[in-house]
Structure 1
């Protein structure tokens, strides 16, 4: 999940980072250099989707064994991990959709 979130932040840095900096009052001509990551955005987008897909498969497939001696511990922590995963997916979806929505904010 961490790889997915990190690569989504990098993939959307061409649009999200300048907007956040402008909103907190940091501006300047140097901000035009922040778009230098634009050509690698598709690579990080694919990395994001692959990482989140892999994490989703691991979390939502039936648990065959538990690493903890008490099997009941997995039954309690797995729903929490799934909720964290769904929260990360929602955050990543916002980040990946932001370049499409950014023109409405400028």
Structure 2
């Protein structure tokens, strides 16, 4: 009988945590834009129905999703873009350039979705 302890899981690297935070920011931004952007996207994809009017029910929690998205993007930006010398350990290796590009793409996507309700009245 082997009574060795199971190996402890390593803490996620800052790069993986940054990617998870970016995913959280994108999902919360999509939820924040359910009143405006999501119905438009669904109609463009061919999904229609009167049930889409129920998406307006999420309007009161939109500020919560916006705060969650901005907080997650801020934290991800701190993890992905900060200099590696700040932490002083070998565990804080520099992030890959691909992760930085993904962060910039997510930041642009989040900014476009959060800014859409501000410019949408110009198209009506």
Give the structure-1-normalised TM-score: 0.80
Counterpart for residue 3 of structure 1: 24
88-97 or 25-34, which deviates more: 25-34
- Higher helix proportion: 1
Question: Whose Rg is larger?
Answer: 2
| Shift >4 Å, 4+ stretches | 65-68
- Is 1:55–2:76 an aligned residue pair? yes
Counterpart for residue 117 of structure 2: 99
- RMSD (Å), alpha carbons: 2.0
Aligned residues: 100
- Is 1:18–2:39 an aligned residue pair? yes
Counterpart for residue 16 of structure 2: none
Give unmatched runs, 5+ long, in structure 2: 1-21
Give unmatched runs, 5+ long, in structure 1: 69-73
Distance across 1 between alignment mates of 2:71 and 2:78: 11
SS of the residue 2:84 aligns to: coil
